[in-house]
Chain A
Amino acid sequence: MIFLTLMFSVFREAVAKKIFLGFFAIATLIILFFLLLVNVDSVEGMVNMMEATGEEGVKQLVMGFQVGMITISYFLVITFCFIAVSSFIPSMLEKGNVDILLSKPVSRTNIILAKFLGGVLLIFLSLTYLIGGVWLILSVKSGFWHFPFLYSIPWLTFSFAVVYALIILIGVTTQSTILSIIVSMFLVFVICPVLFVRETVIFSFITNSTMQFVINFFYYILPKLNDINKIIEEIIMGTAVSSYMPAVSSSLFMLAALLLSIFYFRRKDY
């Protein structure tokens, strides 16, 4: 009961700070955009043309739309959700607020876990609305009910959870919302894409083996969001997933960030 109260306080905070409303509005706009898109003449014509070339053509078109949708969702999750949730921990740790919280019969470990799970559940439900809506429109319009697209909901939620664990760690140790946003954005927009193309692009400029080792080292210990996106695309396109290693190592990163947050929070004087 206490754990659930804490977990759902994340929802209440999200509603109060208009986070839910903001995501709902943006998601609805995207869904409406897709609804209009599949009804415009040129796209309708494209669907008719694909239908004429056979079922495979329609499938390819729908899956192409869905992969595009994942890219939109990914950036939506990053730019909107990370900014929105990065204040959860610093605001909880404000003097006067944390004192009351810690005086209650709830363990510090559970406080961190409840905030983490609450945030993850919040994003899961938001993504379910967005991706589920788009999936429904595309399926009804094309008659091709491509269920693997729905797997992107837990995968994108997982991507969010990995960075959210880092946001919690930064929030607990620095109590700074701004720093949480900056670090998570830097990770998502700079570090992850650069490390993703390290073999195809970066190593053609950096030939020194020590430097390559250092870059590889960071690649393996840091989250691999772009690799996870690739996994989602492979699942949607129905091709074999090249490697689950990015998911495993990102899970370990998430676990490490959470454990460090709990370790620090359990020892900190407030």
Chain B
Amino acid sequence: MSVIATKELSKEYQSRTFSKEKILALNNFTFEVNEGEIFGILGPNGAGKTTLIKILLGITFRTKGNVQIFGKEIDDTSYKFQTGYLPENHRFPSYLTGEQALAFYGKLGGMNSVDVKKKTDEYLRIVDMDSWRKTKIKKYSKGMLQRLGLAQALMNDPKLVFLDEPTDGVDPIGRKQIRDLLTRLRESGKTIFLNSHLLSEVELICDRVAILNKGGLVASGSVEELTSVADSYRFSVSAIADDLMQPLLNTYKAVIKGPNEFTYKAGTAEELNGLIDFLRQKKAMILQIEKEKNTLENMFINLIGSQD
């Protein structure tokens, strides 16, 4: 079931007040997010990622297109009882303490006082901020604010959580804790919409990813699909003997990667099997064949670079 579904979603901004010049922040963006998955949204600065999240939450208004959350148009704001949001560079009223901030935002999320108390205790513990609960927010570090922000986004036990750079300013151990928390949330059936610049992090936890550039969707799919290099296979053999080397280079146009490794681009399954037959015929011991993979970062840089 789709938790989020957009169709030809567009957003135009005026470049300046009273200016007729328009900036297209989103251009006919169509995508879906399924229930219970961690969906990552990637793109360079100004690609339209934050605009997309803000439209989904009714903070910014779309110029055209349709948006449905939990199967309903977002003009009906009741869906916000089931969503949580951690914005990038969020700012809580600095005069509140950690627990006061959670209580305030929990009540704004429609929670009653009993649940607020229970969830405040629970989430302050989960984000490791229990000992700072009575301290004024103005004394918090960036990482602590981020943890509190995450607790705020989860307070009302939302089915759908939007996280904009959730690990920004958090130390590596904290990042690991947040990743683990997000994984646990997914296991409990929650859907997470994640915007992060840390591609390695996205690669680690996201089920599916969409890549935006200049307001348009340039790629989407599972991390596996996006990082696999089309038709390229990495072979490990016991050794590349001399009688193998020449045919591999000249006939099969393989790329030698080491004394016992090479990659081969097979257009069809027959071509791949042809090479395997050749290696067996030459008595080469095949240790491993795997579809060649790229890192998400390399894929991202190549994709965006080719567009610019």
Residue numbers of A with Cβ under 8 A of B are 1-2, 5-6, 9, 12-13, 16-17, 91, 94-107, 267, 269-270
Contacts and interface: CB of A to CB of B under 8 A. Distances in A.
Given A103-B59, A105-B110, A107-B77, 8 more contacts: A1-B107, A1-B112, A12-B95, A12-B96, A95-B89, A102-B59, A105-B109, A269-B61
Contacts of B108: 2, 5-6, 101, 104-106
Contacts of A101: 108
A100 B91 CA distance: 9
Given A2-B107, A104-B108, A95 B61 contact: no
11 contacts: A6-B108, A9-B104, A12-B93, A12-B96, A99-B90, A102-B57, A103-B57, A103-B85, A104-B80, A104-B108, A105-B77
Interface in B99-143: 100, 104-105, 107-110, 112
Nearest to B107: A5
Contacts of B216: none
Contacts of B61: 267, 269
A13 B92 CA distance: 12
Given A99-B87, A269-B13, A1 B110 contact: yes
Interface of B: 13, 54, 57-61, 77-78, 80-81, 83, 85, 87-93, 95-96, 100, 104-105, 107-110, 112, 152, 162
A2 B112 CA distance: 10
A139 B57 CA distance: 56
A97 B112 contact: no
Question: Which DSSP category, helix, strand, loop or mixed, fits chain A's interface?
Answer: helix
Contacts, number: 83
Contact of B59 (A6, A91, A105, A270): A270
Contact of A5 (B87, B91, B93, B104): B104
Nearest to A103: B85
A98 B107 CA distance: 16
Which 9 pairs across A and B sit closest by C-beta, in order of nearness? A16-B95, A96-B91, A105-B80, A103-B85, A99-B87, A5-B107, A269-B60, A104-B108, A96-B90
Nearest to B13: A269
A247 B231 CA distance: 80
B54 A270 contact: yes
A100 B152 contact: yes
Contacts of B110: 1-2, 104-105
A232 to B, nearest CB: 35
A83 B95 CA distance: 19
Contact of B95 (A17, A96, A269): A17
A13 B107 contact: no
A221 to B, nearest CB: 25
Given A105-B78, A269-B61, A100 B87 contact: yes
Contacts of B58: 102-103
Nearest to B88: A96
Identify which of A1, A6, A104, A107 gathers the most chain B CB atoms within 10 Å of its CB: A104
B59 A94 contact: no
B236 to A, nearest CB: 50
A105 B87 contact: no
Nearest to B113: A1
Nearest to A267: B61
A104 B105 contact: yes
A62 B92 CA distance: 49
A34 to B, nearest CB: 33
A97 B96 CA distance: 13
Contacts of A95: 89, 91
Nearest to B77: A105
B51 to A, nearest CB: 9
B170 to A, nearest CB: 17
A98 B90 CA distance: 9
Given A104-B80, A105-B78, A269-B13, A97 B93 contact: yes
Given A17-B95, A269-B60, A270-B59, A100 B112 contact: no
Contacts of B87: 96, 99-100, 103
A13 B95 contact: yes
A270 B91 CA distance: 14
A103 B78 CA distance: 11
A101 B90 CA distance: 11
A97 B59 contact: no
B107 A97 contact: no
Nearest to B85: A103
A249 B299 CA distance: 65
Contacts of A269: 13, 54, 59-61
Contacts of A107: 77
A100 B85 contact: yes
B105 A100 contact: yes
Contacts of B112: 1
